[in-house]
Chains A and B, each alone.
Chain A
């Protein structure tokens, strides 16, 4: 330990040296004897330093230094935390809202399923819900879009897509209803849970938080739609299945787009939306089961306060080490090939 400090004290950039010390934690078990030998060696070296040629980091010349000589330039090209910026709790908490939204959506979806299963929602209610969501969603979509880009052709195109989707879904809904008839309910619940976990883990939260402009989460969407299809297969009538799956497409397929646009528009809207979703979920769970509703509040607090707190706290221990030993990253091949 001593010898290293010795050689490093000469160096002017003290801050860096301290960090170096942190990284190269030296084994302290050197016997005193060894230490004194090294010290005296170092002193000798210092005296000779004036007379000798300065040390150079080269291999082709035999230099007048021992092979294990530690020069002042040792580790001077080391770069610590080149791309690490200290995180702020509020920023982490802010970006965790996207995850909160996604979790509430999954919970709402499951609640709606249980209501459909126990026939507390009738088909009529379901269709009203679907149409209401589509209209409201499209209305917000139009509101947020820049006015210049709106045209009648675009509207017709959207309408066409919607109709094709609905007709297709209507045609396959009898098949979907009988899809898992031979399966035990346990399999279905287990599969659904696994699929929703996959959905939550692989969702493109960057997109919802406005960091990227293209939704890139095919696995997430597939998992959610698959889960909704196998849940739908437990329902009684074809029409209910049709309504239920279209509901799933609305909230898993289209809703992220709206949320992305809302975030881009202003954070206040995003926050308000999250709050409304959380509140709505809380009320619907409260009606269902009082205990679960408080559990839900606990989960929310954990996601937006507790975990971001831990994350920011632990982030200060992050050290990235870069240096001349890193693999160089040349420009990707296609940039010149094309």
Chain B
């Protein structure tokens, strides 16, 4: 819990940060969790954090979350995979308004597939606000879809002040595809809330080797490998049992395999497991199996190791960087090699001291450390100077043969549009939103809680009647 004495940052070094992404609560996922946890830790360090995301069904407008984290659910409809439509100018007035209202110093966008992230970054760039971008995924260079994404990133990240990647592989990937100088790219890994993932050896079934799999059942998460691997392991290890959590389009294929090989008593399918209950599933296992085909930073294996499980994983993307060799065994993305790795790790998995694993993981990854390093990035970019328009156009002109012309055009258009906006709605006429009074809030938290619980009770009673 946050105490008042935790707010130690001197007044002049506190920033007002806008976290912008299409992905936020109530949607569940790695990016959503990352933004929330990072924001909480930054608030804890005395900064003001505002989140900007699109509306989720009926949830639109402004909401406050834990410790005064202000969330703007802006009225943009999500279209495909929770992302909004990309626009060049339409959303600029809204973003400009939010940034002026909240007196934003730093815009921090998350995830390359998010349009809100790119739009806020371009808007902030026009307003001379510092920008930071966090990339959570890897993208290959040989897919048609990625080409367009690379060009969009190329445009919006051309003047970025700093980029954060979650792994060294991610850094290489991002600096290549968005053409950013690697000195501008920092590697700050993800983290987990280790207190939520504590081991519980009593939950294990004695005499059985339980192998836990927790992932969305999609092709990219390696369902094909899993389907090929399970029969091999079940055949060779008579006391092996699989516990499979998660849901997805390929779930049917796993069930088909279970029917075909008659493994109903060996495979337990749990379906979708909410994040807070994942720990209860993990503690049942001896080995955690990850079959992803690509992964920037696999948070699932860190959670599993924190619960004291030995991890077997495919060596793809940034996964080899995540855990030390005594916690994990790698195999090539091939079913037979992976099955062999699972069989080989049965021995080591029985000798694991779960609490030792837990304390080690706790030291490796925690959100406070992430927030500290992110803050260091914020401190660093304060010295960057806003370039005059001529230099900026010159920079965009070097972005490619054809794309550069379009980029310059878009840049000029946005520049002019911002001038018109300034004329229509001058910045000094926009209302300033008061900052959340965190100090007073923390001081009077108990009283507030009491009055809130009282009012809840009144509401409940009213409902009962």
Contact = CB atoms under 8 A, between A and B. Distances in A.
Contacts of B90: none
Interface stretch (A21-29, A119-127, A142-150, A304-312): A21-29
Given A60-B322, A325-B169, A333-B224, 10 more contacts: A23-B176, A24-B182, A57-B321, A60-B321, A67-B373, A324-B316, A325-B173, A328-B333, A336-B228, A337-B227
11 contacts: A24-B179, A26-B179, A31-B385, A59-B297, A68-B182, A68-B183, A77-B172, A78-B172, A325-B140, A326-B142, A330-B225
Given A78-B172, A328-B333, A330-B222, A29 B186 contact: no
A4 interface: yes
B376 A67 contact: yes
Contacts of B18: none
Contacts of A326: 140-142, 294
Nearest to B185: A68
B168 interface: yes
Nearest to A321: B141
A323 B175 CA distance: 13
Given A59-B168, A75-B172, A328-B293, A67 B377 contact: yes
A70 interface: yes
B129 to A, nearest CB: 19
B172 A68 contact: no
Interface in A52-104: 57-61, 66-68, 70, 74-75, 77-78
A233 to B, nearest CB: 40
Contacts, number: 141
Interface of A: 3-4, 23-31, 38, 57-61, 66-68, 70, 74-75, 77-78, 320-333, 336-337
Interface string B364-384: 110000000100110000000
The 5 closest A-B pairs by CB, nearest first: A328-B333, A67-B186, A325-B138, A321-B141, A59-B189
B134 interface: no
Nearest to B261: A337
B387 A29 contact: yes
Interface stretch (B59-67, B95-103, B204-212, B390-398): B390-398
B139 interface: yes
Q: Is the interface of A mostly helix, strand, loop or mixed?
A: loop
A58 B321 contact: yes
Contact of B158 (A27, A325, A330, A337): A27
A321 B257 CA distance: 36
Interface of B: 138-142, 158, 162, 167-170, 172-173, 175-176, 179-189, 220, 222, 224-225, 227-228, 253, 257, 260, 293-294, 296-297, 314, 316-318, 320-324, 333-335, 364-365, 373, 376-377, 385, 387, 391, 394-395, 398
Contact of A59 (B187, B222, B225, B391): B187
A84 to B, nearest CB: 11
A14 to B, nearest CB: 19
Contact of B398 (A24, A28, A66, A68): A28
A86 B143 CA distance: 22
Central interface residue in A57, A58, A60, by most chain B CB within 10 Å:
A60
B104 to A, nearest CB: 23
Given A29-B395, A57-B321, A328 B294 contact: yes
Contacts of B181: 4, 24, 26-27, 30
Given A59-B189, A323-B172, A324-B169, A3 B183 contact: yes
Nearest to A328: B333
A59 B333 contact: no
B300 to A, nearest CB: 15
Contacts of A320: 141-142
A320 B188 CA distance: 28
B364 A27 contact: no
Given A67-B188, A75-B172, A325 B182 contact: no
A326 B182 CA distance: 20
Task: Output the residue of B168, B169, B364, B365 with the most chain A CB within 10 A.
Answer: B168
Given A59-B297, A321-B176, A333-B228, A67 B364 contact: no
